Structure 1
Amino acid sequence: MRLKSIIFFIFILFVYSNCLRSQVVTTAYGPVSGNKSDNVFEFLGIPFASPPVDELRWRAPVPPENHTDTLRAMHYPPACPQKNFEQGDTTATIMGDEDCLYLNVWSPDLSGGLPVMVFIHGGGNQQGSTGQETGGTKLYDGKNLSERGDVVVVTIQYRLGILGYMVHPGLEAENTAGISGNYGVLDQILALHWIQNNIAAFGGDPTNVTLFGESAGGVNTGNLLLTDEAGDLFHKAIIQSAIPGLEDYAEATEKSTNLVNSFVSSGTDEEKIAAMRKIPADSLSETLNIPINGGIVQQSWRPVIDDVLFTDNPESIIQSGRFNHMPLIIGSNSDEMSLSAPLVVYPSMVNALVSLYLPAIFRPEALSLYPPGSTQDEARNAYVQILTDAQFTASVRRTAQCIELNQAEPVWRYFFTYTHSVAQLASFGSYHGMELFYVFNNWENATLGSSFLFKPQDDSMQYNMLHYWTNFARTGNPNTNGLTTWPEYAASEDCYLEIKATPNGSQCGVRSEKSDFWDKVINFKGCTSFLSKNEIDAINGFRVYPNPTNDAVKLEHNEPIEFNAALYGSNGDKLASYHNISKIDLSDYANGMYILKVTTRGQHKVYKVTKIP
């Protein structure tokens, strides 16, 4: 009898302990319960859409059904169907479940009104998930980022590959716009709507949402800057190792039609789609290719220019100014393709790479900028740098320049050069995705990063990256006291922050000569501004400082002049007008981004002024 009492007491204690650690939040669709992990509330696997299965396969996502019972959000959701490749490996496993449209939330304070950071995972739009494990840890676990950064973190999933991006005539009759494709994009947009409608219950501020992503997640983040459908759903953006990217609709249709015909060879287009909806997702995933092969990025499945979500190619949209203007961080890593390039490279392979991808007229200059050397190490370094600069360094500069020239909101560029001890041992440098360990502060939890391999420099990197990212999410400016000043980006100067254990913030020009070369290869002529010339011409001798500021900015000119000034909010609303004033007091204004327009001698100058805590 006494033994039964003890067992019953232990059971009650266990139930009571779990109740103390669980937390119920009411969403628009019903209550959900999560766990308390140290000081963070954690909700894993909340549905933001109905399962996209059967007749919902290849259709726009629909909201989830309401539920009265408490939904237990205790486990990561299954990955979306995919053929999963490890970076640098050509072997793969088929995995995933079509019922995969879920998100995860971490919050340090359910009543906080905190900045919200929404992460889109990478994987070439063909693989990846919010529960992805890398180096023995959940790479995108948001607990440390949320707790240490005092932000609400959300990670979302979206349909991948053929299920997320197929374009086919048989699908076009199913919607009033007469188009198909972009289902993965629509998933992301619906997730952002869910966040707008529900995140306040988790302690988040729906008016202060930062969208960030790496690799294909960065591509998707950049693409969402280009569509009106996402214009009011987020307010700041961080693009890591990526730029916006869209595919031609006709080319995507041809590719998808050939694939469908390989499964179903007869019948009308509509009949073929009906048959395709019955084919197991695993069989469809078998058709996917490796996203990065030999250091070459292969985006087999991408969002398309459909004239509804996306009306033109990214460069043209940005050049026209018809994109969602907001503060932006964009950057890349110094050795992006070091994990994916061949492990053994001979000088002859560098020559072969150049000959394969470059017209003859550019080959001598390429080999001069990237000499193959005489050893395998020298050759591999040249090989990696060619692939890194051509696909990342130069393209990131183009995008940073074009956006900076065509919006008043600030742009901040980074170049990640830190190499952790394991990568140093393997001579991999700052490879594709390495910065994610430090943004999420999870390198300390990784098998490879734990114990004696976690160095003081790693701790410094974690602190710096987390606080730059969360400061930006909070105010639109990554700078704050205690961090090396990150210079605001200007297209004419190309200044940036080199992210390493001890950044100094003084660099301008990331591999400029090499980036100029790759611009020449693709015949990129540079960006212009859609703003009028008078608005961007400098007024010689005029100075606005300090910027950023925590209270006031001073206006100075090197000679006595008459001038007028006007202060605008980031949404374009005029806040105040001034005449010949030497100081503008911002202490009564909220932290964030403001536009100061100065007029003198018939000319205008627009300054971006940032107020920080």
Structure 2
Amino acid sequence: MLASALLLSAAGLGTVPAAAAPRADDTTVTTRYGQVRGTAGERADDYLGIPYAAPPVGGLRWKPPTAPARWTGVRDVRTPGNPCMQTNSSTPWGDLAGPGTPSEDCLYLNVHVPAERSLRDRPVMVWVHGGGFTIGSGTFYDGGELAHRGDVVVVTLNYRLGAFGYLAHPGLAGESADGVSGNYGLLDQQAALRWVRQNIAAFGGDPGNVTVFGESAGGGSVCQHLVSPGATGLFDRAIAQSGCGFPLPTQESQQRNGASWAGSLGCTDVACLRGKPAGELLAASVNPTARWVPNVDGRVVPLQIADALESGRFHRVPVLQGTTADEGRLTVASTYDLAGRPLTPAGYPVAVRALYGDRADAILARYPLSGYGTPAEALGAIFTDSQFACLQSRSARLMAGHTRSYQYEFADPGAMDHLDLPVSFPLGAPHGSEIRYVFGGVSGTPAQNTLADRILGYWTTFARTGIPYATGAPRWNQYPKVQVLAPDAITASTTFPEDHRCDLWLPGAAARS
């Protein structure tokens, strides 16, 4: 359901940067692997499809990424690289994979640089896309406007997805010097961050000031890098949007599941799996029992995120994180209204009992239908609080004991009204609806445009200084205050855990806050 919601939430972002008349000055840049030439734009220069690792094909399938090959001459990087292997994610706004044909040869990144020359190196913002770890691409997100308006260098990237990025298997663990498997997508992201440290100065970026940011699965990835030893020294600030603190499966359980999945393909060893065509693996990976996500392997991800944060075993960089006010409503919309079966008053308790079993009575008592305009809004509130708001609040609280921790709630109730989706209830501010505000893609009411300007300012100034600040916007205080980002007014809340009933979802959390 979450993946379906994300497909819808990506509306309005665009894909490939719009073509612009080239300037007279050259866009050739020299990286440590060779020269590249991008496209000069009026607002930003775009370098698309730069390889940051060798293609993970053949014997490199399910291996940690290795350095890309060097090249001679000038490499044309005016068109995106292939998106990673994934199923079709067509929406009214385009395919979330972006342009190109999904392929295993997909470890490419894009660099967007403000067109105006600068006398100083700019902060760097590295975007990790969402998509439930199974769909999406870096190219879908046009970083040019964010680069121009925020005076930052923006990097977006692809990473291995689904079974190609997260298969854990005893045979793969046996090949590993660390005895672990899975988490290849996370290792790809770390390889991209390493490439940024090594090469971004050539694009006018400051390699000593890198912010990693992402949404949904990308936000979860950001928090996994915060606790990963392999990410040491690769970034200086972190922004996690709607994706921090959710529990991960263990290495043991994922290896059991991986071995079972391999067996369904008639494979008992890794050689057999590597001999399978990518298309066959992709088709087999679309399995409701498969869970293609990172795992706690003791090395790449040494501990559950909450445990690592509570013990202070994470990289002590400033962190900005938060959720949208109505995270769960888009999941409800895609599951019910957009599937042709709106949730009814009679169906509401049935749905809650099916999802929560013995806990249903206590949950229904805290989320009575009488407290909401529609059954869909009631169920959406349950999803919002249980799957997003309270987990993120816990993460912000745990980090606050060790570093600067900032939390927000994006609360534009009309954030997706421009889509005019055929649903029977207001979508409010659902999962992913803040992305276009961050990337500078809003063209709405004057109040929405002002909010978007301030959000872009908060994000980019945080990237520059480690403190969120926007011209004309209220001061953003550290946790436990939560910055509520709404078009009518930006305010600071001190009751976020109570508002989201976090004592129900995280026993004891409200008392500790």
Q: Decide whether aligned partners of structure 1 residues 229 and 111 sit closer, same or farther in structure 2, where only a CA change above 3 A counts.
A: farther
1:278 and 2:268 equivalent?
no
1:511 is displaced (CA, Å) by 5.4
Q: How does 1:269-348 map to 2 (within 5 A)?
A: 269=268, 272-289=269-286, 300-341=291-332, 342-343=336-337, 344-348=342-346
Deviates more, 1:194-203 or 1:389-398: 389-398
Q: Find the counterpart in structure 1 of residue 451 from structure 2.
A: 461
Q: How does 1:35-184 map to 2 (within 5 A)?
A: 35-85=39-89, 96-108=102-114, 109=117, 112-132=120-140, 140-184=141-185
Q: Report the secondary structure of 1:339's partner residue.
A: helix
Q: Find the counterpart in structure 1 of residue 261 from structure 2.
A: 259
Residue by residue, what CA displacement relative to the aligned partner does 1:576-604 show, whole Å, maximum 9, x if unpaired?
xxxxxxxxxxxxxxxxxxxxxxxxxxxxx
1:44 is displaced (CA, Å) by 0.6
Conserved 8 A contact 1:58-1:163: yes
Residue by residue, what CA displacement relative to the aligned partner does 1:183-232 show, whole Å, maximum 9, x if unpaired?
11110111111000000010111111011000000000010000121120
1:307 is displaced (CA, Å) by 1.8
Q: Find the counterpart in structure 2 of residue 519 from structure 1.
A: 505
Q: Report the secondary structure of 1:66's partner residue.
A: coil
Q: CA separation in 1, counterparts of 2:211 and 2:37?
A: 25
Deviates more, 1:479-488 or 1:184-193: 479-488
Q: CA separation in 2, counterparts of 1:22 and 1:62?
A: 30
1:441 and 2:440 equivalent?
yes
Conserved 8 A contact 1:319-1:528: no
Q: Say which of 417, 440, 447 aligns to 2:411.
A: 417
Conserved 8 A contact 1:347-1:373: no
Unaligned regions of 5+ residues in structure 1, if any? 1-16, 133-139, 292-297, 445-453, 530-613
1:26 is displaced (CA, Å) by 0.2
Q: How does 1:13-28 map to 2 (within 5 A)?
A: 20=24, 22-28=26-32
Conserved 8 A contact 2:23-2:41: no
1:402 and 2:398 equivalent?
yes
Q: CA separation in 1, counterparts of 2:283 and 2:96?
A: 10
Q: Find the counterpart in structure 1 of residue 252 from structure 2.
A: 250
Q: Decide whether aligned partners of structure 1 residues 396 and 68 sit closer, same or farther in structure 2, where only a CA change above 3 A counts.
A: same
Q: CA separation in 1, counterparts of 2:161 and 2:355?
A: 28
Q: Decide whether aligned partners of structure 1 residues 442 and 38 sit closer, same or farther in structure 2, where only a CA change above 3 A counts.
A: same
Conserved 8 A contact 2:330-2:427: yes
Residue by residue, what CA displacement relative to the aligned partner does 1:522-571 show, whole Å, maximum 9, x if unpaired?
x4668989xxxxxxxxxxxxxxxxxxxxxxxxxxxxxxxxxxxxxxxxxx
Q: Decide whether aligned partners of structure 1 residues 176 and 120 sit closer, same or farther in structure 2, where only a CA change above 3 A counts.
A: same
Residue by residue, what CA displacement relative to the aligned partner does 1:132-161 show, whole Å, maximum 9, x if unpaired?
3xxxxxxx1011100000000001111001
1:64 is displaced (CA, Å) by 0.5
Q: CA separation in 1, counterparts of 2:54 and 2:24?
A: 31
Q: How does 1:214-229 map to 2 (within 5 A)?
A: 214-229=215-230
Conserved 8 A contact 2:130-2:216: yes
Unaligned regions of 5+ residues in structure 2, if any? 1-20
Letter in 2 for 1:314: I
Q: Say which of 346, 351, 354 aligns to 2:352.
A: 354
Conserved 8 A contact 2:328-2:382: no
Q: Report the secondary structure of 2:126's partner residue.
A: strand
Structural RMSD (CA): 2.7
Q: Decide whether aligned partners of structure 1 residues 222 and 320 sit closer, same or farther in structure 2, where only a CA change above 3 A counts.
A: same
1:506 is displaced (CA, Å) by 2.9
1:38 is displaced (CA, Å) by 0.7
Q: CA separation in 2, counterparts of 1:88 and 1:23?
A: 34
Q: Decide whether aligned partners of structure 1 residues 499 and 192 sit closer, same or farther in structure 2, where only a CA change above 3 A counts.
A: same
Conserved 8 A contact 1:111-1:203: no
Q: Report the secondary structure of 1:218's partner residue.
A: helix
Q: Find the counterpart in structure 1 of residue 430 from structure 2.
A: 431
Q: Find the counterpart in structure 2 of residue 382 from structure 1.
A: 378
Conserved 8 A contact 2:498-2:510: no
1:290 is displaced (CA, Å) by 8.6
Residue by residue, what CA displacement relative to the aligned partner does 1:219-278 show, whole Å, maximum 9, x if unpaired?
00010000121120001000000114432011101111111111124xxx5xx3112112
Q: Say which of 473, 476, 485 aligns to 1:499.
A: 485
Residue by residue, what CA displacement relative to the aligned partner does 1:430-469 show, whole Å, maximum 9, x if unpaired?
111111111001234xxxxxxxxx3222321220111000
Conserved 8 A contact 2:319-2:405: yes
Q: Report the secondary structure of 1:154's partner residue.
A: strand
1:355 is displaced (CA, Å) by 1.4
Q: Find the counterpart in structure 1 of residue 6 from structure 2.
A: none
1:485 and 2:475 equivalent?
yes
Q: Decide whether aligned partners of structure 1 residues 400 and 71 sit closer, same or farther in structure 2, where only a CA change above 3 A counts.
A: same
Aligned pairs, number: 475
Q: Report the secondary structure of 1:431's partner residue.
A: coil
Q: Report the secondary structure of 1:104's partner residue.
A: strand
Q: Say which of 441, 446, 461 aligns to 1:471.
A: 461
The normalised TM-score by structure 1 is: 0.73
Deviates more, 1:141-150 or 1:331-340: 331-340
Conserved 8 A contact 2:216-2:242: yes
Conserved 8 A contact 1:29-1:67: yes
